[in-house]
Amino acid sequence: MKLLLEPLLLLQAMLQPLSKLNPLALHLEVLQLLALERGEGELGLVQMRG
């Protein structure tokens, strides 16, 4: 679990400035990460981008 968490925390830190400007963008990033976790990433990304 720790191996997974560290990259997520790093990504979150990188997205922090973005989240201040656009909370929705950060929310979408989190949803994409969760989708990738479950192996639905590619499909999810395509759907989100329209």
Q: pLDDT per residue over 2-37, tens digit each? A: 666 787 778 777 767 655 667 777 778 788 888 777
Which range marks the domain in which residue 42 is found? 2-49
Number of domains in the chain: 1
Cα-based torsion angle of the residue sequence 27, 28, 31, 37 in order, rounded to the nearest 10 degrees: -120
The pLDDT of residue 33 is 80
21: its two tokens: 């400007």
The pLDDT of residue 17 is 67
Question: Roughly what angle, to the nearest 10 degrees, separates helices 23-37 and 41-49?
Answer: 150
- Nearest Cα to 31, choosing from 18, 21, 19, 40? 40
